A and B are shown apart, each in its own frame.
Chain A
Amino acid sequence: MGILLLEQTLNGLQFSVTLFLIAAGLTLVFGVMNFVNLAHGSLFMVGAYFAAWFAGVFGSFWLGLLCALPATALVGLVIEVLVLRRLYAKDHMVHVLATFALILIFNDLVRIVWGPLPLPLDLPTGLAGAINLGPVPYSSFRLVIMLSGVLVGLLLWFLVTRTRIGMWVRAGANNREMAIAMGVNVKWLYTAVFTFGTVLSALAGVMLGPFVAVESGMGDGVLILAFVVVVIGGIGSVLGAAAGALIVGVVDTLGRTALPALLSALLPPTIATSLGSALGSMMIYLVMVLVLFWRPSGLFPANT
């Protein structure tokens, strides 16, 4: 029992960090540019596809990672310059529609290029197994994912709070007109931020690629998760994304583990499993609704 508890706690934590990794790119774009980017999931998917493809070509996961990031960044840059740039000033409706269109396009595009079956993407050799953390065997690659999530978090925090670019980013997030008036080249700042956000999305895709099916539509579920995290935590702040990720990760893991166990203790087994799994699916949405009802702008929004 103790081992299970330990493992599940680790899992909850790991899932939280994974969620943060997924949501990081989104919260940046959201916060700075006030842009609802539904294509975030598609960029995640493109990152995973590039990683799978390059890894297959070079026979190495790490080379796949190294090539996938700039490749996806290029894709992000292209759509920013060609399409999204004209839409920043318009309202959220337009963002939603345009990026929804991109989801449709990308989902078919990857099928055209790589076919309808999932692409193989193996774990890097050496990290494919588990190591023993005391009594608990834990997947080594999951630990690497956690590490990358933490590193990304630190990087973002450093960039945003300690550098000049970060200052511009915060200025742009808080008050765009003022930032322009103060001489910040907002147009290229936005391009840079979006491209960086793309790289983060792609990184999440590459890191998760070995654990999930690399297939058309894989970004859709990820997109919703990312949004839930960002919205609960508050748009535009790294702290918010971290808080949101922690809450969602823990709640979801609890919902899948503790809840069925709790219900089994109280109700007959068949009802317990049905109710438990039904509630488990709805858990994170319920939490989001509750949080937003209490705090309509999330927990730690950037703009107060």
Chain B
Amino acid sequence: MKTNKLLLGMTSVLTALSLNAQAADSIKIGFLTTLSGPASAPGIDQSDAFKLALKQLGGKLGGLPAEMISVDDQFSPDAAKQGADRLLRRDKVDVLTGVIYSNVLLAVTPAAIANKTIVLSSNAGPASIAGKDCSPYFFSVSWQNDAPHEAGGKYMLDKGYKRVAVIAPNYPAGKDAATGFKRFYKNELAIEMYPKLGQLDFAAEIAQLRAANVDAIYYFLPGGMGVNFTKQYSASGMDPKIVRVFQGYDADQQMLTVGDLINGIVNTGQWSSDMDNEANKLFVSEFTKTYGRVPSTYASQAWDAAYLLDAAVRNVGGKIEDREAFIAAIKEAKGFKSVRGDFKFARNHFPIQNQYARVVTKMPDGKYLNKMVGPVLKDHSDAYIGECAMK
């Protein structure tokens, strides 16, 4: 009798233990983003959006209670590495997301992949990870770094501009932007300029634009540089017929600062806040209601990240510990309603999506909206997919 009870007891304990070792009872999301310092606006946007999405989903992703652990990467790959280590090893997160900047992403991805943690990029999309360093554990729900530039090039080609200038800062991302642009704008450029990163005064560059008699300018000047350039350009008496095109994610932020000066300027990106689908309508209204501002492209990507995970977790019935199945579910993205409409991944785990032209428009209430103009590139995937070995 006693032995039976003992055996029964032991069996139930063992069963309980093995059950706990099998099923995950929650999903842990490591949200590594830039929350401090001057470059923190996109990170804060993403953090806000992700939190809002979680709230909308009742604090659950696909039925599993979700825990979001935020870490500040301090805009430094070295600090980010330590933060990522903490998320991977101490907090044992299932998914790492939220990274804004490419250098941070490149620093933390290898360790995450080695740890069999899924990296879901909600912004950065460096060429190496789209190509030769692609991995089943990596997904991008945002875009590959070249995409808006390629769209810019195509837009200018379609419009038939003949004397085009390209301006980008003198660092690899800037050079990549120019390369991406030239991949689709096949004509010769009138002038290319690569000002110093963080440059304050653009008078010299503007003078050269004037002398080169350009009819269109494509510029990639992220952050403060873009605001500087825009302010100075507008004051220098350049021909208002000159067309300027830049990137959607910068436009979203600049609208709040120098809206008047970029009124009517075209920008490229995969999303627009006036896109007409259910998911987007919900996103924009909830975000505006909660935070008192129109969401940016960054925010849209973080929201999508949450909803993508929600769909994937639901499709594996909460069994996220089976990484292969979880990865397959993310890749399939069944039931995922992106704020961009339909969504699908290419074989390198980057999205195949449209790139749109949008135009900054002043609304009757005085605020600015980035209005959809139309698609520039349809079902577009990146140029590096050929280097990726994944099927």
Contact = CB atoms under 8 A, between A and B. Distances in A.
Contacts of A138: 236-237
B387 interface: no
A277 B208 CA distance: 15
A129 B194 CA distance: 26
Interface string A1-42: 101100110011011001000000000000000000000000
Contacts of B253: 117
A210 interface: yes
A165 B207 CA distance: 43
B282 interface: no
Contact of B170 (A119, A129, A277): A277
Interface stretch (A79-87, A166-174, A212-220): A212-220
A14 B235 CA distance: 14
B227 A212 contact: yes
A221 B198 contact: yes
Contacts, number: 127
Interface residues of A, number: 54
Contact of A117 (B196, B203, B257): B257
Nearest to B36: A108
A67 interface: no
B237 A139 contact: yes
Nearest to A261: B208
A107 B253 CA distance: 20
B75 to A, nearest CB: 10
Contact of A212 (B204, B224, B237): B224
B70 interface: no
Interface string A111-142: 10000111110110000111110000111111
Given A1-B211, A278-B170, A18 B201 contact: yes
Secondary structure type dominating chain B contacts: helix
B162 to A, nearest CB: 19
Interface residues on B, range: 35 or more
B173 interface: no
A160 to B, nearest CB: 28
B200 A222 contact: yes
B12 to A, nearest CB: 54
A96 to B, nearest CB: 20
Contacts of B200: 208, 212, 221-222, 225
Nearest to A110: B38
A128 B210 contact: no
B197 A281 contact: yes
B224 A218 contact: yes
A4 B211 CA distance: 6
Given A137-B236, A212-B224, A4 B208 contact: yes
A8 B257 contact: no
A273 interface: yes
B253 to A, nearest CB: 6
Contact of A118 (B236, B237, B257): B257
B257 to A, nearest CB: 5
B205 to A, nearest CB: 7
Interface string B185-221: 0000000111111101101110110110000000000
Interface of B: 36-38, 40-41, 44, 170, 192-198, 200-201, 203-205, 207-208, 210-211, 223-228, 231-232, 234-238, 253, 256-260
